[in-house]
Amino acid sequence: MDIFDKCYNFTEARDAIATGLYPYFHALHTAQDTEVIMDGRRIIMIGSNNYMGLTNDPRTKQAAIEALEKYGTGCSGSRFLNGSLVLHEQLEAELAEFFNKDAAITFSTGFQTNLGAVSAVVGRHDYIINDAENHASIIDACRLAFVKNVLKYEHSDMASLEERLARLPEDAGKLIITDGVFSMSGDIANLPKIIELARKYNARVMVDDAHGVGMIGANGRGTASYYGLEKEVDIIMTTFSKSLASLGGCIAAEAPVIDYVKHRSRPFIFSASIPPANAAAAREALRILKTEPERQKALIDISNYMRAKLKAAGIPIIEGETAIIPVYTYEMNRTFLATKMLFEEGVYVNPVIPPAVCEGQCMLRTSYTATHTHEQMDAAVEAFKRVWAKLYN
């Protein structure tokens, strides 16, 4: 058998394109913003993770430009060797302070951050206990760590988590990993109970706060801050590609943990460091996040406005309090059709199908930006109403 047979026989994408329902790889002709030009069409963007609205902010762009001019386009090596800039160290110090931790370490992408942190910290004979809806990067991190013992508890089900923990050896190393704000449903992890169970069963806790940072917590410090549990969470992880308007990621923890990861994490040691422009943009976005709390308020206000409008229109949403509002479509074909129809109405949303969700629970993931306007939301809701009338009548 030719190793490429699987490639030659893969027709799912071509089949979907032939039906006109293929929803992926739309090309942007403009910067990421509340409205964009996509495939030549002006679109209201309610499918990005640009929560703070900083990807096109003049200040983040200027910070990137200045770093580009000073340091060049890249670092040509890993942080471990020749790729460490003063800029990286400044960013890490500011991130550690932001999360109220001793130290922080940056990685080149968010996905790589989970790969690098988990695979370094967890040993082969330790235990990882995952929320069932954790991000794919955490699942792959468990594989890279060659961990024999990976358990999964039902999503946000604390009885399920305790049942898993109670079965484990008391003296074994254990790491509970959970998203802070879950990327698909938008719900918030029950950190107080997770911390309580971690203490009871001698486990550590890691929170992937890729979506929580900027959205919740004091000055957007995320889920641990939201609950006042920053000192109790052992590792806080986040990405720069969302609220921090760049590319990369970090973990913040006790200094010995960060030092260990620096010297043991293969994805960190063997990858080139974050380009100067990305580091500078993230640093500037972090500064704005800390000094402009009104952005966080604007994000929640516009999300609540949209949530109320969708409910009033009879659109079946998942209740919540974050800037992620999923809309149920249930069936895959209907999901793709709704996505296409909304796009034709001038609204971009993300279709979510298995394995990202369970069978029969397909949805449209909508997400919002601090700089969205009521007028844009009103137009988006009207588009939803027209599409739903065609789909269900």
What is the secondary structure of 3-23 as a DSSP string?
TTHHHHT--HHHHHHHHT---
Q: Tell me whether residue 211 is one of the annotated catalytic residues.
A: yes
| One pLDDT digit (tens) per residue for the chain, 393 residues | 899 999 999 999 999 899 999 999 999 999 999 999 999 999 999 999 999 999 999 999 999 999 999 999 999 999 999 999 999 999 999 999 999 999 999 999 999 999 999 999 999 999 999 999 999 999 999 988 888 899 999 999 999 999 999 999 999 999 999 999 999 999 999 999 999 999 999 999 999 999 999 999 999 999 999 999 999 999 999 999 999 999 999 999 999 999 999 999 999 999 999 999 999 999 999 999 999 999 999 999 999 999 999 999 999 999 999 999 999 999 998 999 999 999 999 999 999 998 888 888 899 999 999 999 999 999 999 999 999 999 987
Give the residue from 272, 291, 310 where a domain finishes: 291
- Of 27, 54, 65, 374, the closest CA to residue 245 belongs to 54
What's the CATH code of the domain at 40? 3.90.1150.10
> Of the listed 48, 108, 156, 183, which one is catalytic?
183
Would the pTM count as exceeding 0.85?
yes
Q: Do the domain assignments include residue 245? A: yes
Q: Do the domain assignments include residue 2? A: no
Q: Do the domain assignments include residue 220? A: yes
| Residue 203: HSE in the Cβ half-sphere, 13 Å Cα cutoff | 27
Give the residue from 273, 291, 309 where a domain finishes: 291
Looking at the structure, do residues 271 and 327 belong to the same domain, yes or no?
Answer: no
Looking at the structure, do residues 123 and 65 belong to the same domain, yes or no?
Answer: yes
242 φ, ψ (degrees, to nearest 5)? -115, -100
> Of the listed 88, 101, 211, 309, which one is catalytic?
211
Looking at the structure, do residues 211 and 286 belong to the same domain, yes or no?
Answer: yes
Q: Tell me whether residue 246 is one of the annotated catalytic residues.
A: no
Cα 294 to chain centroid, rounded:
22
Q: Which H or E run includes 253?
A: strand 249-253
Looking at the structure, do residues 207 and 217 belong to the same domain, yes or no?
Answer: yes
pLDDT recorded at residue 104: 98
Q: Do the domain assignments include residue 181? A: yes
Q: What's the Cα-to-Cα distance from 41 to each of 30, 219, 222, 381, rounded to whole Å?
A: 11, 35, 35, 18
Looking at the structure, do residues 330 and 368 belong to the same domain, yes or no?
Answer: yes
d(CA 298, CA 293): 9
d(CA 239, CA 213): 9
Looking at the structure, do residues 235 and 91 belong to the same domain, yes or no?
Answer: yes
Looking at the structure, do residues 269 and 380 belong to the same domain, yes or no?
Answer: no
Buried b (16+ CB within 10 A) or exposed e, 225-235: bbbebbebbbb
What is the secondary structure of 279-319 as a DSSP string?
HHHHHHHHHHHHH-HHHHHHHHHHHHHHHHHHHHTT--BPP
Q: Tell me whether residue 242 is one of the annotated catalytic residues.
A: yes
> Of the listed 88, 242, 309, 372, which one is catalytic?
242
Looking at the structure, do residues 204 and 338 belong to the same domain, yes or no?
Answer: no
Looking at the structure, do residues 339 and 215 belong to the same domain, yes or no?
Answer: no
Q: Show the CA angle centred on residue 185, arms to residues 180 and 188, nearest 5°.
A: 30
- Tokens encoding 141: 């991190």
Plot region of 346 (φ>0 → left; ψ -120 to 50 → alpha; else → beta): left
If one counts the domains in the chain, the total is 2
d(CA 229, CA 350): 32
Yes or no: say if 239 and 113 are a contact pair by the CB < 8 Å rule: yes
| Residue 180: HSE in the Cβ half-sphere, 13 Å Cα cutoff | 29
The three-class DSSP label of residue 205 is: strand
Yes or no: say if 305 and 107 are a contact pair by the CB < 8 Å rule: no
Yes or no: say if 206 and 177 are a contact pair by the CB < 8 Å rule: yes
Looking at the structure, do residues 222 and 309 belong to the same domain, yes or no?
Answer: no
pLDDT recorded at residue 219: 94
Looking at the structure, do residues 192 and 286 belong to the same domain, yes or no?
Answer: yes
Give the residue from 247, 262, 291 where a domain finishes: 291
Would you give the end-to-end CA distance of the chain in angstroms?
A: 49
Looking at the structure, do residues 170 and 271 belong to the same domain, yes or no?
Answer: yes
pLDDT recorded at residue 112: 96
Q: Do the domain assignments include residue 162? A: yes
Q: Do the domain assignments include residue 172? A: yes
Q: Do the domain assignments include residue 5? A: no
Q: Which H or E run includes 51?
A: none
pLDDT recorded at residue 359: 85
Q: Do the domain assignments include residue 149? A: yes
Q: Which domain holds residue 379?
A: 13-45+293-392
What's the CATH code of the domain at 68? 3.40.640.10
- What count of other Cβ atoms lies within 10 Å of the Cβ of residue 393? 5
